Amino acid sequence: MRACAESSGSGLDQTKWHSRWCLEYDRHVSHHPSDESCAIAMQYSFMNRPGQHVEDGVMVLSKLPILHSDVLLLPRELRDPSDDHQRTVLRVQLDGSSLVGSPNALPIDVLTTHLSLSERARDLSVREISRISSCRSTYNNNEKKENRSYQPSNVQLLTGDFNAEPNEAALQYLMQASSFNGAQLNCDGLTDKDNLSPFVDTWMHARMNALRAQHPHTSHEDLQAEAERDGFTFPACSPVKRIDFILARNHSSSRALHEELSVSVLTSRIVGSKPTADTEYLVGSREGLGMLDSDSPIWASDHFGLLSELRLHYKP
């Protein structure tokens, strides 16, 4: 099972999307299914027009069947001018039964987002994402015009352009299940300690394992610093930040129904780091060359992509 990410793209007339995330799977390690059809759950954001309510748009592409999906609005920080439009999270539940040969549907939660440039808005957003990924809820299925219930899966992936580096409070909250100033998640009387497991940073987990094997006598701090540098994803022309993430967790809530399904991290790598072949010669052609310059090389995105390989574990 592979999770991949690519941030920022454009097209489709007057539409644009800021990140694209997809899942593909290998039923056996080296076997790819012949059926290339992808189920798609998406939301597009239209380019800013006067008086228009502007929402961020994200997308999930999957070769696994999509059981249901919904788009949720994230909190705003209107006093901060950098929080200049509505951010969203796309919550998709996939059926992982074909990966493990189960006759019954095995839900896998995939959430993807593009967080605000406002640090305060990001802090509010991750608390909301924790709530909606951890609590039972009811949502409206517009296509079928009916209300549907959401039950968190034991396997959850959270992906996106977080506009935050790993040491920021928002990421630390997700990866340590910590609280902001004592504020705790509450769903039906359960607090953080009762029903939250921390997310795992798949890049750091896989890269640290690889570096430890290569340099067994190097200190943890030095290896961690190297893993951070190796994982820079933005900007593509000269990356200096790691702000794109694939996070994974095995949800420990006592309310979860699918106790037999879990996930572990195998590998993670940066993709999309080279410009197009016909513009690669422009790399380093002059000092200060950036992506917005007319003589810039052309990358697939202003961010590098991230590809993580995960393994599902199933106990019938």
CA–CA dist 234, 163 (Å, integer): 10
What are the C-alpha distances in Å from 31 to residues 22, 25, 272, 305? 18, 9, 23, 23
Per residue in 18-55, pLDDT (tens digit) is 333 444 444 333 333 333 334 444 443 334 444 456 77
Lookup result for tokens 């950036």: 290
CA distance linking residue 125 with residue 83, whole number of Å:
12
Predicted confidence band of residue 183 (pLDDT cuts 50, 70, 90):
very low
Instruction: Read off the amino acid at residue 242.
Output: R
Residues above pLDDT 70, as percent of the chain = 71
Q: How confident is the model over 53-81, as a mean pLDDT?
A: 91
Q: What's residue 54's pLDDT?
A: 78
Q: Over the stretch 71-128, which tens digit does the pLDDT of each residue have?
A: 999 999 999 999 999 999 999 999 999 999 999 899 999 999 999 999 999 999 999 9
Model pLDDT for residues 114-141, shown as the tens digit of each residue: 999 999 999 999 999 998 888 877 766 5
- 254-307 residue pLDDT tens: 344 445 789 999 999 999 999 999 999 999 898 888 888 999 999 999 999 999
160, β-bridge pairs = 113, 245
pLDDT digits (tens, 9 = 90+) for 204-234: 999 999 999 999 999 999 999 999 999 999 9
pLDDT over 90 at 16, yes or no: no
- Chain-centroid distance, C-alpha 58: 10
Instruction: For the chain, give the percent of residues with pLDDT over 90.
Output: 57
Residue 261: predicted pLDDT = 87
Q: With contact defined as beta carbons under 8 Å apart, do 235 and 302 qualify?
A: yes
Which has more pLDDT, 175 or 135?
175
d(CA 84, CA 86): 7
